[in-house]
Amino acid sequence: MRHFITVIAMTLATMGFAHAAGNITAGQGKAGMCMGCHGMDGNSMVPMFPSLAGQNERYIAKQLRDVKSGARVINEMTGLVGALQDQDFEDLGAFYFTQVAKAGQGADAALAELGKTLYMGGNAETGVAACAACHSPTGKGNSAAGYPSLQGQHAPYVVAQLKKFREGARHNGAATAAVRINDGDTRMMRDIAFKLKDFEIDALAAYVAGM
């Protein structure tokens, strides 16, 4: 049933929830303050700072809004986004979406292979849905639905975020109108991460890092 709800959410999302258009050129100019942590072209050189290259506009804009509102706590960014407005967020999203994500390095091949199995097929025994259902088989995510790209994302960053979802420290998944609950979050990521063991999280992180 949960997978069916997820599919319905993705279908409705791709039918077109309107959002403000970002300006790529304007976003490039505004990205100067981001480059120290996220790289000149959005490919971060620091494993704990996410790469933004190729990330979809809707997801970036939502996360920036959440940081500004306090819905997502990133201490390093709080002072940077305070003066920014919605159009700034859309412009930054548009710019980073045009940048090319570079594949990183996963861990050993066996760990990455386990991660691939989980990513593509989930784990029926523990009720873990396939990551590919929302993030696409190639890891590019779903731009229309606002589901983030995972391609080449640093493994330590992915591990940290999955554990935050699992522990309830992060609760601002890419909510769409089709599956909102009272706190405005889809809970999909929290529910999935709660069922993941540490070694499974490590494996998924290793796989997506090499995508």
Mind listing the pLDDT tens digit for each residue in 68-93?
999 999 999 988 999 999 999 999 99
> CA neighbours within 13 Å on the CB side: how many for 159?
17
Tokens found for residue 118: 């989980």
**Cβ–Cβ under 8 Å, residues 163 and 193:** yes
Domains along the chain with CATH numbers: 13-97 (1.10.760.10), 103-209 (1.10.760.10)
Compute the mean pLDDT over every residue in the chain, rounded to the nearest whole number: 86
**In the predicted model, what is the mean pLDDT of residues 154-158?**
95
Query: What one-character-per-residue DSSP string does 96-127 give?
Result: HHTSPP-----S-HHHHHHHHHHHHH-BTTTT
Q: Please, what is the end-to-end C-alpha distance for the chain in angstroms?
A: 29
Count the Cβ atoms, other than its own, within 10 Å of residue 21: 10
For the entire predicted model, the pTM comes to 0.84
